Every structure is written in C-alpha cells, then in structure tokens.
Amino acid sequence: MFLVVAAGLIVSVVALGCVAGPVLDRPGWPVANPAIAIACWIAALSGTFAGLTGAVAVALLRSPAPGHGLLEWLHDCVHAHRHSGVALAAGVGAVTLFACAVRLARGLPRLWRAMTHRRRHRQMLGLIAREDGEHADVLVLEHPVPVAYCLPSRRGCIVISTGARDRLTAAQLKAVLAHERAHLRQRHHALLLLLDLAYVLLPWLPTVRRAGASLPLLLEMAADDVAARRCGRPALAGALRKLAIAPGAAGALAATGSDGRTLTRRLARLDVPARRLSRARRTAAWAFFTCAIGAPFAVITVVVGLLLPC
C-alpha cells in the first residue's frame, strides 16, 4: 500500500514539476486567458510542493523509517533497515529535505533584504512624494521620467511620476490606475513572493523555472485585462506606449529574470483582440487545475490516514 502511495506521489511530482511546466508554457493559449493560465501555474506549483512534501514524509515517517520515532530508531536502527529500499527512500528523503533547508537558509537573507529595501522605499516615498488631490491611494513623485507602479502594503498605494501624469490623457491615466489597482487587489505581489520562495527552494525543477519566467508577464496581462475592460483597449495601449508600468517594488524577482520583451507582447495582445479560449481548452485547463491541486493532497490525506494509527 505504501509503495503505491509513494509511487503515486513521485509520479505526481515528476508530472507536475517536470512535465507540466513545458506544457503550460506552450505559446498561444495563456495569452487568450491569462487568469486561467495563472490558476494552472499556481496549481502546478502547489501540487509539486504538496507531492514532494508528501513523498519526503512517506520516505521518512512510514513505520520502519527513521523518522517514525527517534527513540525507536535509536533502539532498533539496524533491525528496521533490513529492507534496502526503505533505507534508500529515507536517505533520498533526508537529502531532499537537507537540500531544501540549505537553499532556504541561503535564500531567506536575500528575501529579507528585499523586504527591508521595500520598507525603506515606502518610508522614503512617504517623505518625498506628495499626495494626489483627486485619488486617495495615489502618491505623486516629482520626476520627469514617466513611471507608474504600485506599492503593496497594508494600505496599498500607487506611485506615479509627474512625468507620467503630464504625458497621459485623462482616459489613459484612468487605465493605468485601473491596471495598478488590479495588481493590488489580486495580490500579485504575494504571488510573486511565493514564486520566489519556490525558486529559492527548488530551482532545478523545470516547472518552477518556467513559472519564474512566465508568471510575471501573465500577471501583467491579467491586470491589463481588468484595465482594458474598465477603460477600453485603446486607452490602455496608449498609456503603455507612453510609460512602462513597473511591476512594483516587489524586490524579490531578481533571481528569476525575464525575457525583456514583455511590453511588446502586451501591446500586441491589446492591438489584436485575442480569440476566446475554446470550450475544450477551457475544460482541459480546469481539469488540470483540479487534478494538480487535488491529486497530491488526496494522496497526502491517505498517507496521514495510514500513518496516524501506527
């Protein structure tokens, strides 16, 4: 039974961690509906991590394995490891756990520095920027370079430079604000932070690596969709041509990088309205979402159920 569970978990980790990424990254379909694509990426990532956690837990905690009880292990360490497969599984589990711990110990200071940097940025903004008379959540920074970005915090705010404000028409400014508010409302910064954490932990998995490259653009597109629905495509496209909407001082994405052609792709998408996703693809995407999230968790539930009585 345990063998089946462990095999199921490993298969799901391989499927989600190695195969799902390239499949989700196929060009075309995510552009048509970034929201569904984002949901699928999140499902693939959380499924991978859930599966991996489950697999490590099974390897270390199933009844003859060392983690089952430290005292018990100390007592009959030699007896319990008669089966070489058990020792191997426990060893691989421990190594994975150790590797993750090392990565985390290395990556956390960087994440922490990024957070501190962001806090400092916010404080300096409080000192330098002026409040916008019209919108309560907008801060105006006196500078000719046209920039707009959102600053996630308890009371999320949008920063816009005077250069941007002077260049944009009223409709374009509204579109920019709608775009930034969508980022804040949909908590994209939190998603990017989790993504960065995933990258710190498991940079070797293709799904994690590809998510790091694809998700930022998809998040921009999702926010574009909200803004285009509210204020119209021409206004948003015009605004994007005049300024780059920075993803916000999230400070955590330096490790994942980007392809640098994001704006071109976003504009192309706004100029030629994307075809709607076909019904079949929609269904397939949601089926994937359910399986990716559901399978590892279901297996883990089974594992917990089996582990508890012993």
Partner 1 sequence: MGGLGGPLERAIMNALWEVPDGLRIRELLVKVNEGADRPLAYNTVQTVAERLSRKGLLRRVPDGQAFRYLPTRTRDEHAVELMLDALTESSDHAAMLARFAESVDAQDARHLFDALRERAIDEPGT
Which residue ranges make up the site for partner 1 (CB under 8 A)? 120-129, 141-147, 149, 159, 161, 163, 167, 216, 241-244, 246-251, 253, 258, 260-264
Residues in the chain: 310
The closest of 30, 32, 50, 52 to 215, measured between CA atoms, is 30
Strand ranges across the sheet with 147-151: 130-131, 138-141, 157-161, 147-151, 244-245
Tokens of 198: 């995933």
Question: Shortest approach of partner 1 to residue 52 CB, angstroms?
Answer: 29
The closest of 63, 51, 120 to 90, measured between CA atoms, is 63
Nearer to partner 1, 102 or 254 (CB): 254
Question: Shortest approach of partner 1 to residue 114 CB, angstroms?
Answer: 10
Question: Shortest approach of partner 1 to residue 31 CB, angstroms?
Answer: 17
Pairing of strands 157-161, 138-141: parallel
Nearer to partner 1, 159 or 211 (CB): 159
Determine which helix (DSSP H) or strand (DSSP E) holds 130, and give its type and residue range: strand 130-131
Question: Shortest approach of partner 1 to residue 38 CB, angstroms?
Answer: 17
d(CA 235, CA 164): 14
Question: Shortest approach of partner 1 to residue 130 CB, angstroms?
Answer: 10
Whether residue 263 contacts residue 246, with contact meaning beta carbons closer than 8 Å, is answered with: no
Question: Shortest approach of partner 1 to residue 209 CB, angstroms?
Answer: 16
d(CA 268, CA 270): 5
CA dihedral 169→172→176→177, nearest 10 degrees, is 70
d(CA 203, CA 19): 15
Question: Shortest approach of partner 1 to residue 252 CB, angstroms?
Answer: 10
Nearer to partner 1, 249 or 270 (CB): 249
Nearer to partner 1, 182 or 292 (CB): 182
Nearer to partner 1, 69 or 144 (CB): 144
Nearer to partner 1, 23 or 190 (CB): 190
* Local structure of 282: helix, strand or coil: helix
Question: Shortest approach of partner 1 to residue 263 CB, angstroms?
Answer: 5
Nearer to partner 1, 7 or 246 (CB): 246
Whether residue 244 contacts residue 263, with contact meaning beta carbons closer than 8 Å, is answered with: yes
Nearer to partner 1, 169 or 283 (CB): 169
Q: b/e string for 209-245 if b means 16 or more Cβ within 10 A?
A: bbbbebbbbbbbbbbbbbbbebbbbebbbbbbebbeb
